[in-house]
Amino acid sequence: MKLAFVFPGQGSQSVGMMSGYSDLSEVQQTFAEASEVLHQDLWSLVCTGPADDLNQTVNTQPLMLTAGVAVYRAWQSLGGNAPAILAGHSLGEYTALVVSEVLSFRDALELVRFRAQSMQQAVPEGVGAMAAILGLEENIISTVCADITGQAKDEVVEVANLNSIGQIVIAGHRHAVQKAIAILQSHGAKRAIMLPVSIPSHCSLMQPAANNMQQQLAQKTLNIPKLPILHNADVTSRIDAASIKDILIQQLVSPVRWIDTIRAFANQEVTHIVECGPGRVLMGLNKRIEPKLQHLSLFDRQSIEQAINLLQ
């Protein structure tokens, strides 16, 4: 048996998402620690909302980091086995860095709050957009996006998330994304859905945020990973601080290669993939990519205990 842990990112959040873990002291302590660092009552926000506040990027990103770390600490306290390898979806990569002890929890919280602010400021409200394209091959989507970007004078649309088989997200200027949707539907896309987000993540419009993160990361100390992490941008692991900082900067302007990540786990003889954090978004994606692997999700205390018993 070889165990991989994966950590969800922005998009898995919801009001009340930690209710299934509320009787675990490690969860409460982790949220208290994060609230002290950020000078904000995160537990109240995650329990009662309001949803509009929870879904603000500057709140969502530190909340999801805190939730992932809290659930992993609960897993450890209940006797769960250490994973052999890690990955995180977009923002979730920072949770993996904390679990692997590359970053302290405090430093990760500060970086993630800064990351969220930089991403929000990189593109004015209403200028950018993202859309999920369902049922169409990557090469067709990439070609259409490249053609639109090449023909436009000052607009881009690019592949942003390679989430699962038949589910690819594009991002860029709103008009370019809308144009891509129309063309991709004519090429046979089963569905094309504009996503309710204001930030066109993982595309070249995030370059200002990447520049800001480069300066911020330069001030942080990163350690050698205790556990290997497959990074979003190129699906490789790194052991030196400078290289890890570089890939975190690149992550902001590069697609999330989640399909390749899960396939890489399979190629490295991973047998079980555990989604560590609220929600079950990643487990659904992972099952479609590698259905022969065992897929688990730690969405409440009972699911943690069941997974520990199964994996002993």
Positions marked catalytic: 90, 202
Place of tokens 């990955």: 87
Strands 3-7 and 157-164: unpaired
What is the C-alpha to C-alpha distance for residues 106 and 38, in angstroms, rounded to an integer? 9
Going by C-alpha positions, the residue among 118, 123, 25 that lies closest to residue 74 is 25
Q: What is the residue type of 139?
A: N
Place of tokens 């094309």: 192
CA distance 237 to 229: 5
Under the phi-then-psi rule, with left for phi > 0, alpha for psi from -120 to 50, and beta for the rest, what region is 79? left
* DSSP strand pairing (191-194 vs 128-134): antiparallel
Separation in Å, CA 310 to CA 7, 284, 296, 304: 20, 19, 10, 10
CA distance 91 to 106: 16
List Cβ neighbours of 272 (8 Å cut-off, separation of 6 or more): 1, 2, 3, 4, 293, 294, 295, 296, 311
**CA–CA separation, 170 and 96 (whole Å):** 25
CA distance 259 to 290: 9
